């Protein structure tokens, strides 16, 4: 009988051991911002937002609720599912483009909040692709036997960098966090492969120019709106579809599986039209594609992390099923991962 899939790690990984996701969790703030409310804030309509993006509402964090709070809540849920306590955690990686502050890292603030005193902690920034980048980084520590338990989080408070007067962007984004516990589990192949890619030549398509060393905060930079996210939507859209399709195909090729072997495809939740185009080109059925974009909008690094948690909670995947995650974001960055659940 032909094997269900090929494990691309097997041939070159002599010391490696498989890395599984043993727990997932997510958290979104309570406050719901609907399209009807946005109609009162900018020149837009529920009809435009729904037909152009598929988004109906998004969550907005309270003024005293930060990325690290969302992340810590998601982490605690993932730890509960995995049956681990804070003292088990060896490493915390937070993927975010909206850290609480430039430093210390949000991962260190999460470490304090969840009481994971033994854990090393750092942030990574790969925009909306961050969760797959963080999964791939995290799994290297399990493969190499350096660590037993790694906590990976995608978390964003995008409402803090959105220009609420710019209808081109403010209708698209929301706040939230998703987390995963990575461990070796007997008799599971876990994360089979992760593809990561980037194209810095297209860095200007989606960026926040202010607040870094190139443009520190000044009264002028604030007045000029340089601390808000900006995006060339049309160009970003085109690049997203192409990059997501080729990353997904590469990840499946490495595992010697085709789309019919994948139980659940979890794409970055940025736009229903992008999800449909990617699904069509991958020949995924609507039943395979997991979508929660209508409830949360684009939550960047948290997007596929929240969706993975919800897909598991909804019973869309059982242990042993294959999941395809596929992401795209600023940088430009992209990625895809095949996971045996």
Residues 58-117 that bind ligand UT7 (CB under 6 A): none
Least distance in Å: CB of 35 to ligand UT7? 9
Catalytic (active site) residue 187: no
Name the phi and psi angles at 224, rounded to 5.
Answer: -80, 0
Least distance in Å: CB of 211 to ligand UT7? 19
Least distance in Å: CB of 257 to ligand UT7? 26
What does the DSSP 8-state code read for residue 147? -
What does the DSSP 8-state code read for residue 304? H
CA-CA distance, 328 to 202, in Å (whole number)?
13
Residues 201-230 that bind ligand UT7 (CB under 6 A): 206
What does the DSSP 8-state code read for residue 83? T
Structure tokens belonging to residue 49: 């937002």
Question: CA Rg, the chain, in Å?
Answer: 19
Q: Does residue 298 belong to the site contacting ligand UT7 (CB under 6 A)? A: yes
SS3 306: helix
Least distance in Å: CB of 206 to ligand UT7? 6
Judged by CB under 6 A, the stretch of 26-34, 95-103, 164-172, 287-295 that binds ligand UT7 is 164-172
CA-CA distance, 150 to 70, in Å (whole number)?
18
Q: Does residue 40 belong to the site contacting ligand UT7 (CB under 6 A)? A: no
Catalytic (active site) residue 128: yes
Positive or negative, the CA dihedral 8, 338, 280, 153 is negative
Minimum CB distance to ligand UT7 smaller for 290 or for 328:
328
Q: Which residues are near ligand UT7 by CB under 6 A?
A: 44, 48-49, 52-53, 128, 167-168, 171, 206, 233-234, 236-237, 240, 270-271, 274, 298, 328-329
Q: Indicate which residues carry an active-site annotation.
A: 128, 268, 298
């Amino acid at each position: 009988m032909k094997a269900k899939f090929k494990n691309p790690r097997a041939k070159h990984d002599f010391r490696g051991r498989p890395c599984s996701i043993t727990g997932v969790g997510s958290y979104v703030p309570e406050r719901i911002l609907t399209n009807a409310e946005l109609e009162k804030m900018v020149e837009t309509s529920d009809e435009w937002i729904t037909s152009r993006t598929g988004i109906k509402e998004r969550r907005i964090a309270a003024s005293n609720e930060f990325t690290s709070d969302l992340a810590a809540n998601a982490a605690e849920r993932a730890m509960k599912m995995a049956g681990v306590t804070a003292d088990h955690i060896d490493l915390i990686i937070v993927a975010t483009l909206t850290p609480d502050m430039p430093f210390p890292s949000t991962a260190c603030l999460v470490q304090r909040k969840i009481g994971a005193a033994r854990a090393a902690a750092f942030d990574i920034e790969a925009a909306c692709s961050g969760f797959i980048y963080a999964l791939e980084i995290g799994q290297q520590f399990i493969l190499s036997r350096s660590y037993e338990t790694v906590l990976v989080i995608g978390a964003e408070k995008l409402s803090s960098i959105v220009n609420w007067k710019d209808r081109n962007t403010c209708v698209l984004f929301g706040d939230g966090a998703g987390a995963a516990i990575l461990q070796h589990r007997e008799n599971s192949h876990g994360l089979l492969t992760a593809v990561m890619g980037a194209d810095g030549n297209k860095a200007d398509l989606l960026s926040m120019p202010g607040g870094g060393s190139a443009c520190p905060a000044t009264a002028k930079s604030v007045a000029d709106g340089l601390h808000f996210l900006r995006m060339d939507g049309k160009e970003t859209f085109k690049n997203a579809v192409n990059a997501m399709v080729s990353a997904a195909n590469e990840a499946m090729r490495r595992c010697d599986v085709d789309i019919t072997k994948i139980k659940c495809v979890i794409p970055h939740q940025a736009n229903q039209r992008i999800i449909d185009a990617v699904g069509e080109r991958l020949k995924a059925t609507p039943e395979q594609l997991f979508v929660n974009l209508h409830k949360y909008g684009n939550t960047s690094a948290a997007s596929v992390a929240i969706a993975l948690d919800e897909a598991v909670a909804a019973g869309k995947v059982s242990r042993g099923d294959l999941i395809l995650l596929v992401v795209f974001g600023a940088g430009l960055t992209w990625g895809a991962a095949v996971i045996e659940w």
